Amino acid sequence: MKKKASRPRDRRPATPCAPQPGARVIATRPRSERLKDFVQLTRLDRPIGIYLLLWPTLWALWIAAEGVPSLKNLLIFVLGVVLMRSAGCVINDFADRNFDGHVARTKNRPLATGRVTPKEALILFAALVLISFGLVLCTNATTVWLSFGALGIAALYPFMKRYTYYPQAVLGAAFSWGMPMAFTAETGHLPAAAWLLFIANVIWTVGYDTYYAMADREDDLKIGVKSTAILFGDADRVIIASLQGLTLLCLALAGGRFGLGLPFYLGLVVAAGCFAWEFHVTRERDPLVCFKAFLHNHWAGLAILLGIIADYGLR
C-alpha cells in the first residue's frame, strides 16, 4: 500500500542535543582511527557527491572548450570539485553537529559523536578552501571573482534548512557554480547560453536532493528541519519527475544553442530512462529506496557527459 507523506507543519525546531560526553575519546584514539574519522567527515569514502558535482562541471568545461579542454583546467576543476565537495561536507556537519544525532542515517557522523571537535572541523574547512582558492588563482581574474560566490553559497547552504523549505535550491546553486567558472576559465567570457546549463543543473539538483530528503523526512519532521520533501508532501514524486523533465528541456535548449548533435541527445534519452526508473522504484516511498534513487542520479549525469564527449569526439 502506498504510504502517505506527511504535510508541512509549522513547528519550532527541537532543542538540539549535545554529543554524549562518553563519545569524546579523541585523545585515546589511534592515529589510523583518527584518519578514518576525517575521511568520513569529508565523505571521501562516499564519492557520490563528487560525481554529482563533477559531471555537470565537466559538461560545461567540455562545451566551453568545444571538446578539447586544456589539461591544466581539467586538473584544476577535477581537484577543485573534490576539495570543495569535501569542504562542503565539513561545514555541513559542523552546522548540523547537534542535530545529526537525532537522525538515524547521520547519528554516527564524527562531529555528532564527538570523534572530531568543532575546532578541528573549522580548521579543516579553512584548509580545504585555501587549497581550492590556490587552484583558482591559476586561472584568470574573472574566474577568481566568481569563486567567491561559490564559497559564499557553500557556506550558506547548511544553515538554510532551519529557515526555508527550499534548501535544495541553495544546494543546486552551490553544485552549479562551477559551470560558469568552467566557461570563464576556458574562454575568458560567459555566454548567455551557459546559464541554461546552470539553470538545468539547479533544477536537477532540487529533484535528486528531494529523493535524499525523502529518506530523512520523518526524522526531519521530529526535529523541525525543513526540506522540499516535507513541502511537496504527497506530490513529491510527481514534482520530482516534472523537475527532471524541465532539466532535460533546458539541456536540450542549451544543446541547440551550442550546436550539439545526435550523440548529446542520445545521452539525454539515457538520462530520461534513469529518471523513469527512479520514479517507478520510489512508488512506495521506502526511505532506503528513495536514497537509492538519489544515488542513481549520477548515472544520468554521466550519460549526459558521455553524450557531450562523444558529440565532439565524432566530429
pLDDT tens, 203-218? 999 999 999 999 989 9
pLDDT at position 26: 63
23 domain-assigned: no
Instruction: Say which residue, 9 or 234, is predicted with more confidence.
Output: 234
Answer yes or no: is pLDDT of 4 > 70.
no
**Residues counted in the chain:** 315
282 domain-assigned: yes
> Number of folded domains in the chain?
1
CATH number at residue 148: 1.10.357.140
Q: What is the DSSP letter of 67?
A: T
Q: Give Cα 44 to chain centroid, integer Å.
A: 14
Question: Rounded mean pLDDT of 235-260?
Answer: 98
Burial of 217 (0-12, 13-18, 19+ CB in 10 A): buried
What does pLDDT average to over the chain? 91
Summarised one tens digit per residue, pLDDT across range 101-139 is 778 788 888 998 899 999 999 999 999 999 999 999 999
Question: Rounded mean pLDDT of 199-205?
Answer: 98
255 domain-assigned: yes
Question: Rounded mean pLDDT of 287-309?
Answer: 97
| 27: confidence class by pLDDT, cuts 50, 70, 90 | low
Give dist(CA 43, CA 88) in Å, integer. 10
Question: Rounded mean pLDDT of 286-310?
Answer: 97
Give dist(CA 125, CA 87) in Å, integer. 5
**Domain of 109, in residue numbers:** 30-313
187 domain-assigned: yes
Summarised one tens digit per residue, pLDDT across range 35-71 is 999 999 999 999 999 999 999 999 999 999 999 999 9
Q: What is the DSSP letter of 15?
A: P
141 domain-assigned: yes
pLDDT at position 106: 83
252 domain-assigned: yes
Q: Which phi-psi region, left, alpha or beta, contains residue 285 (left: φ > 0; alpha: ψ -120 to 50)?
A: left
247 domain-assigned: yes
- CA distances 130 to 53, 140, 147, 268, Å, are 19, 17, 12, 36
On whether the CB atoms of residues 183 and 154 are closer than 8 A, the answer is: no
Q: Which phi-psi region, left, alpha or beta, contains residue 170 (left: φ > 0; alpha: ψ -120 to 50)?
A: alpha
pLDDT at position 25: 54
For cell 544520468, name the residue: 300
Question: Rounded mean pLDDT of 86-112?
Answer: 88
pLDDT at position 16: 47
Got the DSSP string for 119-168?
Answer: HHHHHHHHHHHHHHHHHHTTS-HHHHHHHHHHHHHHHHHHHHTTT-S-HH
Q: What is the pTM of this model?
A: 0.88
Instruction: Say which residue, 203 or 162, is predicted with more confidence.
Output: 203
**Helix, strand, coil percent content, the chain, rounded in steps of 5:** 75, 0, 25
1 domain-assigned: no
